[in-house]
Amino acid sequence: MNLVIDAGNTLTKVAFFENNIIRHLHSAAQITHDELEQMMLKYQPSRAIVSDVSEKTKAVAPWLGKRIPVLHMNSETPSPLQLKYQSPGTLGSDRLAAAVYGSSLFPSQNTLTIQAGTCLTYEFVNQSGEYLGGSISPGLDMRFHAMHTFTAKLPLVKKEKISFLIGTTTQESVLSGVINGCIAEIDGIIDQYKEIFPDLMVVLGGGDTFFFDKTLKNRIFAVQNLVLRGLNIILEHNYKC
């Protein structure tokens, strides 16, 4: 049994994998020592991997390391991909994990893996298994908050799925601008990649996948728990090395 912890900008996710299948998943703003201990007693993991982009696991990491071997994910952690990124020290472990899982679904193919979360991230892996990089832009919540924060009168609008283009109120106009704007961005980025790589496979994951998986004009493969699954592959890869 593998323990996989992904401490992101918004949520901390804890998953227990057995034979590459998630047997238990727990999500919270921050994981407590007692919660982790109870889950470990129940599922008895033999090893763990931790990806922490926000230092949320500082309190539990020393305790965990005394009980089972722990792989702390960073840019130098071996993975199935060849890293061609020019600034690997600044590469988020969540981005690399997403790329690992996305490319694992389509080995030896050009793959674009998109994460719709705090940010929209695009990770490209070529058919030779080389991670080249991608792009990062603001996610839905960040766009809503930015429009409210940096203007005098625009309200803070709560995200929701919409089917309209023309907003007939200020709230609807903000919703249309953010939601439809992100849809147009994602489709536009995919189209640009396809001009260079016509055989491109596209994988979409992240907490806001719901807003895009059925509205994009491009064909995509929606995946839940993309980063967790990628981290589990990286953990397995390191124990096979």
- Three-state helix/strand/coil letters over the chain: CEEEEEECCCCEEEEEEECCEEEEEEEECCCCHHHHHHHHHHHCCCEEEEEECCCCCCCCHHHHHCCCCEEECCCCCCCCCEECCCCHHHCCHHHHHHHHHHHHHCCCCCEEEEEECCEEEEEEECCCCEEEEEEEEECHHHHHHHHHHCCCCCCCCCCCCCCCCCCCCHHHHHHHHHHHHHHHHHHHHHHHHHHHCCCCEEEEECCCHHHCCCCCCCCCEECCCHHHHHHHHHHHHHHHC
Supply the residues annotated as catalytic. Answer: 94
